[in-house]
Chains A and B, each alone.
Chain A
Amino acid sequence: MNDIAVHQFPVLIVTTGVFSALTILVVGLFNRKLCYYIVLFTTTFHFVLSILTLNHVLTKGRIQYWLGGWRPPWGIEYVVDELNAYVLVVILFLSFLGIVYSKRSVEKEIDERKHPTFYTLMQLLIAGCCGVVVTGDVFNLFVLAEVASLSTYALVAVAGGRALRASYNYLILGSLGICFYLLGIGFLYAVTGTLNMIDMKILLQNLYYNKMVQVAFVLVLVGLGIKAAVFPLHTWQPDAYTYAPSAVTLIMSTVVAKAFIYALIRLVFSVFTIDFLKIYVDAWSLIPVISAVAIVVASILAYRQNDIKRMLAYSSVVNIAYITLGISYFTSHWSLSGALVNILNHAIAKGCAFAAVGAIIYKTGIKDIRNYAGLAKKMPYTSAALLIAMLSLIGLPPSVGFVTKFYLAIGSLEVQNYLMLAIILLGTLLTLAYFLKVIEELYFKHSENNAEEAPLSMLAPTMFLAILCLAFGVYWLTGIPLDFVEKLVTVIR
């Protein structure tokens, strides 16, 4: 594959994604069955492109792409470095599995008349998230974030009933968040006169003392914090995850959450830089405190839930808190590695958990964990996948969750903050406490019900993710990818 062709891939992923979304709308007029296969084909194709991009970035250096041939800072620029390419692969991999998974689930949960619009929105959501990841322009990021968010609001509401209220909450809070972000970049534009991230980083270096820049930082942090459901701005998230259709929850928890946490990391570290955080943001020392509170409080809230999807949603809040805890100690190499590695680890583990839960809902309609008794006998593979996902969210070696916590623990030793170590251990114990409730019902209680194993198209992605939970855990622990993690950390340092 020649180099110039690879340069086209990031933009091709975004534009052909949007192109395919609108094709689904037209094809849906003639043949509703075909819509699904178009999304499947597009996502598979994009996944292959993203792997080629990652390979190119790792071997030959970053890609800078000028849309329309206009040079930055006048034109829009797409920049793909190691971090982008890594998150892009994660997102497209999970959306590929999510789409494979969604076929049967959507057939059951959603009226057939709505299939074309559903898949159109799904494809727009994926394309928007990819756009958020590959772009190197703060305003372009806003536009693509809106493409992704607006599709998500509609997708949450598809189920109707209480999902409408959840979606409305999400709409109001999400719009507030994006308004904060827009205001923030407006301030930055007023100060620097540019929207290009790299250019802005250079121009801001002499302007850190400016009050407007400091306000802009807060606005951007809060805005993207709402979008990424960082505690205590997560209030929309449990409802949205609980009432959305299973396939949408799977995509939201893995793709959307990861894209926005990436955007947060990118803006904070690549536009404002660590120098700014060190000198001008005294409040940054509050972030580890907030993360610690988040880990404890969200775990306790998760413990009190009986709805499995809501419990997993609170577990997502905890995991986002691990990421913010990691990035808050930016002086530590291991701490940052833990945060960045958790983007993949949490996506795999939470994807697996939501996929398994969705399969159980598909076959039995059970959402309450108190009715899970005896399911392990009837749905052995799905239950095993759920068990592995939960163990890896708890952090049992050699699963992926262990790796995150291990890196963060080393990071806490590196900065000699033993309180952080204690919080990580406490978080692990609390996670064990609430997932033990599920495991107990699933494996140690017996009751008769006539459930049966989920269909293959749902089981295969679930099992694959469960295997990856362990395989990636072992792979990280062997130390082979440490070079790669090193590269990721140098991008944001």
Chain B
Amino acid sequence: MKEYYKYKRDIIVDTTSRKMLPIVLAFGLYTMIGSKGAGGGFQGGCIVAAAYILHALVFGFIEGRRKMPESWNTFFMSFGLYLYCGCGLLSIFASLLVAEFLNYSAFWPITQLVGPHEARAVQIEFIIEVGIGVTVFASFVSMFYDLAWKDEEED
């Protein structure tokens, strides 16, 4: 194992990041689902990824990978798309092939409860944006590790 992968404790960096992390994560989540309607998925995903990368930088790459193995990373990358694409496909199949792809108001259980326009807003806010966020988060973390582990693989 290379010298610089090892965890060296620095009390200032350590404490600051411990205090910061929950706030950064909460802010990321707020950016994703805080707005009523579309927008914020990408930014939210970036912020959550930044929190993870901060954790990996401060507490070591190995610790970071232990928290979330690579297989989980791959799964999250797909999972975001499942949420996004699945929600669009759900509106086709829930309406028995009548409504269009991405026509969220056609998903009747939610539409029954809150009405067609609210149903669009709710699904975009809590499913689509979270889906985008998860995929962006996983992609950024994966990119970060691709760069960080580079020389390890070439050995």
**Residues on A facing B (Cβ under 8 Å):** 4-5, 8, 11-12, 15-16, 18-19, 22-23, 25-26, 28-29, 65-69
- A sample of 14 more A-B contacts (CB under 8 A), given A19-B85, A68-B103, is A8-B97, A8-B100, A11-B101, A15-B85, A15-B88, A15-B89, A18-B85, A22-B82, A25-B77, A29-B74, A67-B100, A68-B101, A68-B102, A69-B99
CB pair A25–B74 under 8 Å, yes or no, is yes
Among B77, B78, B100, point to the contact of A68 (Cβ < 8 A): B100
Is B92 close to A, CB under 8 A?
A: yes
CB pair B89–A16 under 8 Å, yes or no, is yes
Contacts of B98 in A (CB 8 A): 4
Is B110 close to A, CB under 8 A?
A: no
| Complex-state Cα separation, A485 to B25, whole angstroms | 59
CB pair A8–B92 under 8 Å, yes or no, is yes
Is B71 close to A, CB under 8 A?
A: yes
Is B86 close to A, CB under 8 A?
A: yes
Question: Which partner residue on chain A sits nearest B75 by CB separation?
Answer: A26
By size class, the interface of chain B is 20 to 34
CB pair B71–A29 under 8 Å, yes or no, is yes
Is B81 close to A, CB under 8 A?
A: yes
Contacts of A69 in B (CB 8 A): 99-100, 102-103, 105-106
| Complex-state Cα separation, A235 to B128, whole angstroms | 41
Interface set, chain B 68-113, CB cutoff 8 A to A: 71, 74-75, 77-78, 81-82, 85-86, 88-89, 92, 97-106
Q: How far is the CB of A263 from chain B (nearest CB, A)?
A: 22
Contacts of A26 in B (CB 8 A): 74-75, 78
| Complex-state Cα separation, A371 to B85, whole angstroms | 50
Residues A29 and B89 in contact in the complex (CB < 8 Å), given A65-B100, A67-B100, A67-B102: no
Contacts of A65 in B (CB 8 A): 100
| Complex-state Cα separation, A23 to B77, whole angstroms | 10
Contacts of A29 in B (CB 8 A): 71, 74-75
| Complex-state Cα separation, A5 to B96, whole angstroms | 9
Among A8, A18, A19, A22, point to the contact of B77 (Cβ < 8 A): A22
Contacts of A28 in B (CB 8 A): 74
Question: Which partner residue on chain A sits nearest B89 by CB separation?
Answer: A15
Contacts of A4 in B (CB 8 A): 97-98
Contacts of A67 in B (CB 8 A): 100-102
CB pair B78–A23 under 8 Å, yes or no, is yes
Q: How far is the CB of A160 from chain B (nearest CB, A)?
A: 14
Among A12, A19, A66, point to the contact of B81 (Cβ < 8 A): A19
Question: Which partner residue on chain A sits nearest B97 by CB separation?
Answer: A5
Question: Which partner residue on chain B sits nearest A14 by CB separation?
Answer: B101
CB pair B92–A12 under 8 Å, yes or no, is yes
Contacts of A11 in B (CB 8 A): 100-101
Give 18 A-B contacts (CB < 8 Å), ordered by A residue.
A4-B97, A8-B92, A19-B82, A19-B86, A22-B77, A25-B77, A26-B74, A28-B74, A29-B71, A29-B74, A67-B100, A67-B102, A68-B100, A68-B101, A68-B102, A68-B103, A69-B99, A69-B106
Contacts of B106 in A (CB 8 A): 69
Contacts of A23 in B (CB 8 A): 78
| Complex-state Cα separation, A15 to B82, whole angstroms | 11
